[in-house]
Amino acid sequence: MAKIRSACDAETIKLQSAGIAERLYPLPEFVESHNVLFYMAMDKEVQTREMIRRALDMGKRVYVPVVDTKNRDLKIARLDDLNVEFVKGPYGVSEPAERFMNIVPPAVVDFIAVPGVAFDFKGGRIGHGGGYYDRLLKSVPESAPKVALAFEFQMLEFVPQEGFDIRVRKIVTEERTICC
């Protein structure tokens, strides 16, 4: 799946990400949310920068994950503006520079946009292999909707799951919204 995704050109990623965003905005779970956790997308993932900008413009409080390698988990940082300085964190993911980092407890989050490499129709997901997101998803309120953002080609009939894996409730692709 990573090979397929890496073969996508930047324009395709941009267009499909825009289609996913247009399906995300009207979701009742998103509309009703106030504290949204987005991931900072890597090059070949569903791009979230414009989604973050739109959420901020809608008056939502936006948060992004920050990698804590010492504890092997993700912290949550409030992001008030996309014009802050970003640095490459561990694993090459953009994070707010330390002077802009405002860490908050996971309990504040009421909507989570979830990344992944592959997904199935029951909400199973395969991430990048470190378990960071599964640990984060366990720490946020159970009531917070966990919605994956994925390209249609990332959808599979089945992805293997372990006991510690957390399933998502919905998956938004450029073609459809899947209730899991």
The residues spanned by each domain of the chain are: 2-179
What single DSSP character describes residue 39? Answer: -
pLDDT of residue 62: 98
Largest CA distance in the chain: 44
Cβ burial, residue 148 (10 Å; 0-12/13-18/19+): buried
User: Quick one: which of 175, 107, 180 has its CA closest to 147?
Assistant: 180
Mean residue pLDDT of the chain comes to: 93
Tell me the pTM: 0.94
Residue 5 phi/psi, 5-degree rounding, is -65, -40
pLDDT of residue 104: 96
* CATH code assigned to 2-179: 3.40.50.10420
pLDDT of residue 130: 78
Residues of the chain with pLDDT under 50: none
Please say whether the beta carbons of 4 and 153 come within 8 A.
yes
Please say whether the beta carbons of 88 and 94 come within 8 A.
yes
d(CA 105, CA 88): 22
Please say whether the beta carbons of 73 and 132 come within 8 A.
yes
d(CA 133, CA 166): 9
Please say whether the beta carbons of 52 and 25 come within 8 A.
no
Q: Which helix (H) or strand (E) holds 5?
A: helix 2-6
pLDDT of residue 92: 85
pLDDT of residue 79: 95
Please say whether the beta carbons of 112 and 86 come within 8 A.
no
Question: Judging by DSSP bridges, how do beta strands 73-79 and 61-68 pair with one another?
Answer: antiparallel
What single DSSP character describes residue 177? Answer: E
